[in-house]
Amino acid sequence: MEIYDLSYDPRDPLYDLPDMPGVRWGVQIFTTRNLYQLDPAQVSLTDGGMTLAASGLSWAGQQQRSPGEVIVHISRDGDAYQWRIQARHAEPIKAVKLMLWGLPVSAFEQGWWQPTSTAARTAIPTLTAPVRWNYPWREWLTPWACAGEQDGSPLICVSFRDREVRAKRLYTHLPPYADGQPVLELIFEEDARRWGSSIAACEMRLRVTDRLADVDADFAAHLAFVEDAYGLQSWETRSDVPDWMRDIKLVLNLHGQHWTGYVFNTFDQMAQTLRTLTQHVPGHNILAYLPGFEGRYYYAYPHYRPGEALGGDAAFRRLVAEADRLGVKLMPMFGMHGANVQVYPDYERSAFRSRTNSYLTLVNFPDWDTDRFGEDDQVFLNPGEPIFRQHLMEQVSAIVRDYGVSGVFLDTSACWFNDPRHNLYEGYQKLIADLHERHPGLLVAGEGWFDALLAVLPVNQSWLGVDRHFKYPQILSRYGRALGHLAEGAPGPVSTGVHERGFTYRVAGPVTPGHIASVGIADDAMTRYVDEVIAACRAAVG
């Protein structure tokens, strides 16, 4: 999504933050029709500047006036400030923004980072490149961030504390009307099902310090809140992790059939791969992941049976039996959202809708056939919608019941959409709870992760790479495990198999805490490049 901005000075009224000289704050309100600001003539401040009440609003850079109300309560938690913003308007309100001006410039110049940032990676806003992070999405996996890196110099911590999974955004820029000074924005978006005449934002927090120990403590407090809010359990004690998963040290991505119909491995070839590799690494350390097992990858979604071109039912049963004999666990892949409208005509009932419920939202439509344009028939469906959730439940359950696989993988599970008809996270909770109730001991894994998602999916493929050194690795390692991604290339010509990337040239380094390496098997990986495959597997198991 491109970044756009206002082409004028909005002239928001700003208010001093008590006991923090030079820092000012302001509020904006967003309805489904417009951006509204505080009308300074109708604002009163009490409690020493810690409570604001606005009995009217403005818009268009203070050129127009509008009825509406805003109440802001600021409180202190030690040296941290906490904002709670409430607003009312005749139009449906979708979001509120807290703006912070006058924060230490040196912290912005050192850059923003978050728990999953690396030591060498900070985001520094410039005149032409603002910083924008969206939660929950791959660029912001828990809504906490820090600017600045050096002990003894200013450090800025910001966070949201919300007991629900709702959209949040961090945005920092250098608008021309700010005289070259950076402006920080924290945006809270309400669940689209509740857009109405009032909004009450979750707590937004600011802490400025010059001690890295305070930053560590601030994140620890944030993580403790997240853990309590979403019921996160430690990896060692959580009941949705089968005992065998704790022995897994290697994931084999055994690619099946491409969208175009090309077969990378039949089920019998997969079984032979397992026989070969278990001569070099213990079978109980291997999780065999089966993308494209259902036939044409993504084309068959959301229907799942062993693909005929791969050998069908009989060959799949032989693969399961051989994996059991060797001690290898199998995990076939299913789409959490994906559907082909040609094979699932009832898609509109459960397809993601725009936040205002005015149109169908298209999400991921790769160019599978290389006509250099995305395919037209791939849509994403919301498992929060009961009929699709039940369809997916029965499809997954049938494979587990009929073949006795030990795990299932739900693709694209970390995608987030504020669907006005059905809450996505609640759909995840219901689907996964139903799977566990029907199949006790089943591993349910996903693709990508964010903080609250770790509460329901303990194992997920990594969107960030298995060799990335997190600033705070405990955000993952305390609760879950991340696997090498499907798109990591197979030894040899680095084919990504069924994945749409095609070929990749990234070589992953040693895995970091909480991560498990993967090795892709596609095309001639087990013939021409078998020695390279064996070496990679041995290195992963150690």
Residue-wise pLDDT tens digits, 320-331:
999 999 999 999
**Structure token digits, residue 420:** 């006005």
- Taking phi first (over 0 means left), then psi (-120 to 50 degrees means alpha), and beta for anything else, what does residue 41 get? alpha
Rounded-to-integer distance, Cα 61 and Cα 214, Å = 38
Q: What local confidence, expressed as pLDDT, does residue 362 receive?
A: 78
User: Once rounded to an integer, what is the mean pLDDT over residues 184-208?
Assistant: 98
Rounded-to-integer distance, Cα 478 and Cα 219, Å = 14
| Domain ranges for the chain | 15-230, 243-336+383-541
Span 401-439, pLDDT tens digits: 999 999 999 999 999 999 999 999 999 999 999 999 999
On the question of a cis peptide bond just before residue 136, with omega within 30 degrees of 0, the verdict is yes
Contact call for residues 375 and 342 (beta carbons, < 8 A): no
39 versus 510: the higher-pLDDT residue is 39
Q: What local confidence, expressed as pLDDT, does residue 391 receive?
A: 97
Q: Which of 199-203, 454-458, 491-495, 527-531 has the lowest mean pLDDT?
A: 491-495
pTM of the model: 0.95
Rounded-to-integer distance, Cα 379 and Cα 390, Å = 18
Span 137-194, pLDDT tens digits: 889 999 999 999 999 999 999 999 999 999 999 999 999 999 889 999 999 999 999 9
pLDDT at position 363 over 90: no
Q: How many CA atoms lie within 13 A of 327 on its CB side?
A: 13
Rounded-to-integer distance, Cα 453 and Cα 397, Å = 21
Rounded-to-integer distance, Cα 471 and Cα 459, Å = 20
pLDDT at position 135 over 90: yes
pLDDT at position 509 over 80: no
What's the distance, CA 533 to chain centroid? 30
Apex CA 368: angle with CA 365 and CA 369, to 5°? 130
* Helix/strand/coil for 526: helix
Q: Which of 240-249, 362-371, 519-528 has the lowest mean pLDDT?
A: 362-371
Rounded-to-integer distance, Cα 38 and Cα 35, Å = 11
* CATH number of the domain located at residue range(s) 15-230 in this protein: 2.60.40
Give the DSSP letter string of 373-424. S--SSEEEB-TTSHHHHHHHHHHHHHHHHHH--SEEEEETTT-----SSS-H
Other residues' Cβ atoms within 10 Å of the Cβ of residue 180: 9
* CATH number of the domain located at residue range(s) 243-336+383-541 in this protein: 3.20.20.80
Apex CA 459: angle with CA 455 and CA 465, to 5°? 115
Handedness of CA 324, 253, 332, 473 (dihedral sign): positive
pLDDT at position 220 over 90: yes
Q: What local confidence, expressed as pLDDT, does residue 516 receive?
A: 96
Is residue 175 packed enough to be buried (19+ CB in 10 Å), middle (13-18) or exposed (0-12)? middle
Contact call for residues 380 and 372 (beta carbons, < 8 A): no
Note the maximum CA span of the chain.
79
**Structure token digits, residue 497:** 């198999």
Question: CA dist 300 to 343, 350, 363, 404, Å?
Answer: 7, 17, 18, 22
Q: What local confidence, expressed as pLDDT, does residue 80 receive?
A: 97
Rounded-to-integer distance, Cα 395 and Cα 414, Å = 20
Q: What local confidence, expressed as pLDDT, does residue 3 receive?
A: 82
Q: What local confidence, expressed as pLDDT, does residue 361 receive?
A: 83
**Structure token digits, residue 116:** 């999953």
Confidence of residue 119 (pLDDT cuts 50, 70, 90): confident
Rounded-to-integer distance, Cα 484 and Cα 125, Å = 31
pLDDT at position 375 over 90: no
Q: What local confidence, expressed as pLDDT, does residue 508 receive?
A: 64
Q: What local confidence, expressed as pLDDT, does residue 121 receive?
A: 85
Average pLDDT, the chain: 95
Span 59-79, pLDDT tens digits: 999 999 999 999 999 999 999
Provide the percentage of residues in the chain whose pLDDT is more than 90.
Answer: 89
**Structure token digits, residue 296:** 């044409």
Rounded-to-integer distance, Cα 399 and Cα 265, Å = 19
Span 433-472, pLDDT tens digits: 999 999 999 999 999 999 999 999 999 999 999 999 999 9
Amino acid of residue 118: T
Contacts of 87 (CB under 8 A, 6+ apart): 29, 68, 69, 70, 71, 93, 96, 198, 199
Contacts of 370 (CB under 8 A, 6+ apart): none
